Structure 1
């Protein structure tokens, strides 16, 4: 780690422009997850999907982290680890898009599931919350020990991007031989993101509420008596649901303390210990770009501000090709060995 953490991180503006008709931030954000895009992404990622082998890593606190390895040979050489966003999964379209692009440029792929995401609700009794960073770091340590990649990289989207940034501050503690980190549309200040969801277009609030309730139902079905599902369902806003969740299912006294626990504003990113890129669209309807002004980084962090892209979109054209896929591939390749 560079000790000159009083130095500012660097910033640059991304020089790309979506095709006409794709420059609206809501269009970009919706295309990141819209079902109509799935057949195209599944086709591009077919080899990644066909070669996927499941792994489960047991963590010290009882957590179990699941992931899928797609590898050309018995042992990965250059491995890209990808983390989805809140209520996403390893098959989220933005994950498949980046996975396919990186795989086709020579990387093996490990798509990691956060607790209670994808097919993992049965693995643990206690619910996921966003401050469960240590179990993710521990799982990454176990992954590198078992798979022994020659080099490995980490990229995350949205809440997964937030996790990726925090992992970058724990490299030494968890002995991670991590080469580079990329965070795309990461949650910066969770309270501001919640406000944006509550006060933005109703479709975002409805989308995340529906997906969260679906996840809670799966958890309740797998662990009878653990969750009062109706108590969540009866709270109509994400804020009310979050307040109840924090009080009933986390050790935090209130939502404000809980959200501050995984915010990356302030001093947190001064502790980054590996070369890191943070990519955020200035028109993101979910992550306020103004929160970038409240980051205190260090020379290992570079922020890329994109005028376009929405939330996890960055769609260049109607072939559904993503600018951020190319950008991340170029970043990982810079100075790479072999």
Structure 2
């Protein structure tokens, strides 16, 4: 019954509610002591992915690789990704932070971009890393949208997950996309929604400049909420009939019971992005592999602690879980 009954997270006094715990790390955290080496890899469908490596040595690969998947409209450069990369390196692991299509600073080539259920690219990254450096172990970590992709990847077809993938730790995950897309549309969350919509609209405009015959932007500025945007763009651009179908198939919650490696899911109860449907307590209580931790505090992709070493609870907790009784 992997319901984690207690959590070790205690926010500092200045992070006194879920909104502050979400906003402060996003705006003011800096993780300068991470140096990436970028690799561009060509995908089988004629596109590309930009991978940012942080290896302990360029001569020999480490025994273990940690792969980090970022959140919606994020990138490998976001502080929460860099913080996890640094934690993985400090634990003695190589790290790979991959950028989704259109998220590395350059628009991707195809009409499709990325979506919250796109596990094929994660599988591609895992297999590329194994073929390039032949790691004995791979750990997966992810935040928010990246956590949803990670959980779906592990559960939708466990047989295709390489045996080298041993454990996973994900944070602030909207496991039910329909309810979370409605939840973030509430008045108190409008700041977050507007920021996401601003960058999503800009990417659609960039896409329309590249392929004007395929992307219609005439109603783009009228779209205010995720369901509207996803119905108009995300769903049809990625093979779904509607936002409803997209949410149904892309939500990781429906696949959690199929996961077959130890997996930690940490969702804070005061996360402003997550409604009750994103706390899969029933699944975790009946699973041998899905460990659900629900601290009272933490916000969304927050978990700051104000410690001298600059690490966050999410990073310490991930390393603790990933290295606990890891099979050889």
TM-score by length of 1: 0.86
Q: How far 1:139 moved relative to its partner?
A: 2.9
Q: Which residue of 2 aligns with 1:313?
A: 302
Check if 1:141 corresponds to 2:134. Answer: no
Q: Which residue of 1 aligns with 2:79?
A: 93
Check if 1:185 corresponds to 2:172. Answer: yes
Could you say if the C-alpha distance between residues 239 and 217 of structure 1 is closer, same or farther in structure 2, counting changes exceeding 3 Å? Answer: same
Could you say if the C-alpha distance between residues 122 and 222 of structure 1 is closer, same or farther in structure 2, counting changes exceeding 3 Å? Answer: farther
Could you say if the C-alpha distance between residues 208 and 20 of structure 1 is closer, same or farther in structure 2, counting changes exceeding 3 Å? Answer: same
Q: Which residue of 1 aligns with 2:141?
A: 155
Q: How far 1:102 moved relative to its partner?
A: 2.0
Could you say if the C-alpha distance between residues 81 and 217 of structure 1 is closer, same or farther in structure 2, counting changes exceeding 3 Å? Answer: same
Q: How far 1:247 moved relative to its partner?
A: 5.6
| Structure 1: runs of 5+ lacking an equivalent | 1-7
Secondary structure at the aligned position of 1:81 is classed as: strand
Q: Kindly report which structure 2 residues correspond to 1:13-52, keeping only aligned pairs within 5 A, or say none.
A: 13-34=6-27, 36-37=28-29, 40-41=30-31, 43=32, 46=33, 48-49=34-35, 51-52=36-37
Q: Kindly report which structure 2 residues correspond to 1:194-213, keeping only aligned pairs within 5 A, or say none.
A: 194-199=181-186, 200-213=188-201
Q: 1:242 aligns with which of 209, 212, 230?
A: 230
Q: Which residue of 2 aligns with 1:215?
A: 203
Q: 2:261 aligns with which of 262, 274, 279?
A: 274
In 2, distance between residues paired with 1:120 and 1:85?
17
TM-score by length of 2: 0.89
Secondary structure at the aligned position of 1:140 is classed as: helix
In 1, distance between residues paired with 2:252 and 2:327?
31
Check if 1:333 corresponds to 2:326. Answer: no
Is the contact between residue 141 and residue 176 of structure 1 (CA under 8 Å) also seen in structure 2?
no
In 2, distance between residues paired with 1:15 and 1:166?
27
In 1, distance between residues paired with 2:82 and 2:37?
12
In 1, distance between residues paired with 2:307 and 2:316?
16
Is the contact between residue 272 and residue 301 of structure 1 (CA under 8 Å) also seen in structure 2?
yes
In 2, distance between residues paired with 1:273 and 1:63?
31
Is the contact between residue 38 and residue 50 of structure 2 (CA under 8 Å) also seen in structure 1?
no
Q: How far 1:62 moved relative to its partner?
A: 4.4
Q: 2:243 aligns with which of 251, 255, 265?
A: 255
Q: How far 1:155 moved relative to its partner?
A: 0.1
In 2, distance between residues paired with 1:181 and 1:123?
31
Is the contact between residue 152 and residue 251 of structure 2 (CA under 8 Å) also seen in structure 1?
no
Q: Superposition RMSD on alpha carbons, in Å?
A: 2.3
| Structure 2: runs of 5+ lacking an equivalent | none
